Structure 1
């Protein structure tokens, strides 16, 4: 098992790394070359940088994913591609995406895009808060303790 983070815009990278250290789990962060960093990370954290492009990181994650990996992303489309491969997928809020509900989420995303294309305004995601961050950590710790 390892954490695989959709790194473009992920607000919980530091929390994932802290959890990984505590529970001795490897971390793979896949992100655009636009987010290249020279920051030093522990040996259990690996970065893969991909070319610029809307879905470049997603495609690379799909290529890299293994059964039992835990993917952290807010992208329903990516979740729908890695769930059938046996990965567990979590939103930054800590909520888990499931095979049983992913089609409904994709349908909602499609309908929202259709409305926006027709000129209607739709609500975007709420701002990520300190409470959201703590909820993510709490949920992940609960699940990690269950598999110890």
Structure 2
């Protein structure tokens, strides 16, 4: 098992590394060239800034039984398709049961934005979201370690 992180805008990298170190699980963070990252533990892979470069590289690395941390529903869907687990930065565990709804909501949001509409505002990250993420991360890692 390995943890793969769509790390460009991931606010929970420290939590991931902390938990991975405890369990001696390798972590790979994938970023594009507009970011710099070094945490002393993770393998860092830097790709070009082309659209979806990080996503494509990350999914090409994933194997069954791995864990992918991403806020991108499309990346999560591909991870599930490769029999990996997927988790977002707020603690939502992606599953085959919620993926159709999430992808449909993303599609509707894209249509609204393309027509000039707005789909909401970004809220400031809270410590509760970090707590939810850590709880879900531990739960998923416990499940994956049993396999």
Give the drift of 1:4: 0.4
Q: What is the CA-CA distance between 1:125 and the residue it aligns to?
A: 4.1
- Per-residue CA deviation, residues 24-78 of structure 1 (Å, 9 max, x unaligned), is 11101011121123x4513xx2111000123110000111111111000000011
For 1:33 and 1:84, locate their aligned partners in 2 and report how far apart those are by CA, in whole Å.
28
Matched, 1:103 2:97: no
- Tell me the residue number matched to 1:22: 22
Root mean square deviation, CA, Å = 1.5
What is the SS of the residue equivalent to 1:35? coil
Would you say 1:50 and 2:28 are equivalent positions?
no
Alignment coverage as a number of residue pairs: 145
CA distance in 1, matches of 2:140, 2:77: 21
Q: 1:67 and 2:68 equivalent? A: no
CA contact (8 A) 1:70 1:90 kept: yes
Gaps of 5+ in 1: none
1:1-148 equivalence runs, <5 A: 1-37=1-37, 39=38, 41-42=40-41, 45-146=42-143, 147=145
Q: Secondary structure at the match of 1:34?
A: coil
Structure 2 unaligned blocks of 5 or more: none
SS of equivalent residue, structure 1 residue 102: helix
TM-score w.r.t. length of structure 1: 0.90
CA distance in 2, matches of 1:102, 1:53: 26
Q: 1:120 to 1:136 in 2, by over 3 A?
A: same
Q: For residues 107 and 56 of structure 1, do their structure 2 counterparts lie closer, same or farther at Cα, with a shift above 3 Å needed?
A: same
